[in-house]
Amino acid sequence: MPDEGRSYRRLGGGRYGLFYTSPCRDAAEFSAWMTDDRDLYGKPRIYGKGPDIGCTESQTDAATLMLMR
């Protein structure tokens, strides 16, 4: 199944995460309890500009691929 149009990706080991381009990234409303809280996988609840929508927080940034000849 192609990933086009999906907001999540399989990370392996039965785990899922958001694509970097997902509209769910940094889109949740901030609440004070999130500052020191953890997501489903034990990682910080806020990473980036704000919390993600859902039970996991995406911990990846956009990457640049350089090909040299």
**Torsion angle (degrees, nearest 10) of CA 64, 61, 17, 14:** 70
Domains of the chain, by residue range, sit at 22-61
- Looking up tokens 């940094």, which residue turns up? 26
pLDDT at 1 over 50: no
Instruction: Give the β-pairing of 8-12 and 15-18.
Output: antiparallel
Q: Please compute the mean of the pLDDT values over residues 3-32 and round it to a whole number.
A: 82
> pTM here?
0.69
Residue 33's pLDDT is what?
92
Residue 21: pLDDT band with limits 50, 70, 90: confident
